[in-house]
Chains A and B, each alone.
Chain A
């Protein structure tokens, strides 16, 4: 059971390969049928060529590096800020109530709608992009911190207090660990919001990064580059979620015995 988890499951790999083969097959078929002009829908081979092109001139790697760098900085600020607001909401009940409806509203606020505000307030620069990323993900962290702590079964807190925990020790040894399974879900969600936001912000606000590569592809009517960037964005999103966040969540869940 444990060994199976450590290695890639062969069935899963076979299924994924089959799915991919069928997808590329249909794509090729649609291309051959000529429903769209070649410039609007290039063949898989042309996209592979574009891929090779942006890989060999390092555009892609530079773009990935810049985007992920911004994302990591923005996301960590989000976690720190979101958790701090969440804790304050627990501590001050009135603030918690108000902020929780406010955050719920901002949670569904489209990230792209922050762009004009950010350009005018901060400028057409890295800090402006970070601002969009933070505003798009911080409220998901805030709400998840708040609700994770509020939903802790009171018996854990009672037991910990009874055994002498209070103040900081109660917080570190009972509150945080008891809230962890649902905190991680919030962090996963926050990450996905941050990821949406950075690509959107880069398309509109950046002269480097993955989002910019995408928007250059559009400007030069280079559909090959557009699709190659999209595939890259998809792959990175998938890898980070599956290899990092999902693994983390699974680890906690298995320790707790949650199926």
Chain B
């Protein structure tokens, strides 16, 4: 069943008075419970596309459909996890996690119950009363993921959430992310420039072209989970993706 559909999404930016086309007509269908990774050369507009799906930016052309209904504004059914986490420094970890619930007017006792579950899941319980500056980058991203999951979104949008992490922490979170996906059955759109990361996470990988970007190729990865980064069988998929990606990156340099 199609959960999310992007139809011919175009987006232009002003660049020194010139109109620059970032997205040249993105078409993408995402099924319910899909884990789709978006890879592409840097600056190709993957993040812009994700912001449009989140409803934080408007496309200049085309539309995004969620359950067949056009998306017109941002909202908690499509939560975006930002690369920098975007945690609120004025709130404790627990209040960051409960933010969306509080906005939704959910009473305190119910909020604590929900946040407790996800703090637990993300191994954050003992940091609940900390402020965000006291956390490592990896911990911050855990909080950002917990903050998204508590809202039980239809679609989870992740914009290079592990890009700033060290290799060990990233490997750990890549495995955890797969477990979260299996447990929650969420539909996930995950932007990354890291091909190995894409093959570990996605059951589909969409390769973006250079600007103005379109989706060049979709690669299905039907392989057992949880996948670990050392698994050599993934390299076959990685080669396939890199073969598509390489000419785009070259054109970009």
Binding site for B on A (CB under 8 A): 155-156, 158-165, 169, 173-174, 177-178, 180, 252, 255-257
Contacts and interface: CB of A to CB of B under 8 A. Distances in A.
Contact of A162 (B80, B90, B102): B80
- Of the listed residues B79, B90, B131, the one surrounded by the most CB atoms of chain A closer than 10 A to its CB is B90
Nearest to B90: A177
A56 B42 CA distance: 76
A169 B103 contact: yes
20 contacts: A155-B82, A155-B84, A156-B88, A158-B56, A159-B86, A159-B88, A160-B99, A161-B56, A162-B54, A162-B75, A164-B104, A173-B99, A177-B88, A177-B90, A178-B88, A256-B89, A256-B133, A257-B89, A257-B131, A257-B133
A178 B104 CA distance: 20
B131 A256 contact: yes
Interface string B97-108: 001101110000
B109 to A, nearest CB: 20
B74 interface: yes
Contacts of B75: 162, 164
Given A257-B131, A257-B133, A163 B90 contact: no
B76 interface: yes
Given A173-B99, A257-B133, A164 B76 contact: yes
Contacts, number: 66
A255 B90 contact: yes
Contact of A159 (B82, B90, B104, B132): B82
- Of the listed residues A174, A180, A255, the one surrounded by the most CB atoms of chain B closer than 10 A to its CB is A255
B88 A162 contact: no
A34 to B, nearest CB: 59
Contact of A156 (B86, B102, B133, B147): B86
B151 interface: yes
A162 B133 contact: no
Given A178-B88, A257-B89, 17 more contacts: A155-B86, A156-B88, A158-B80, A159-B86, A160-B103, A162-B54, A162-B76, A163-B147, A164-B103, A164-B104, A173-B99, A173-B102, A174-B88, A177-B90, A177-B91, A255-B131, A256-B133
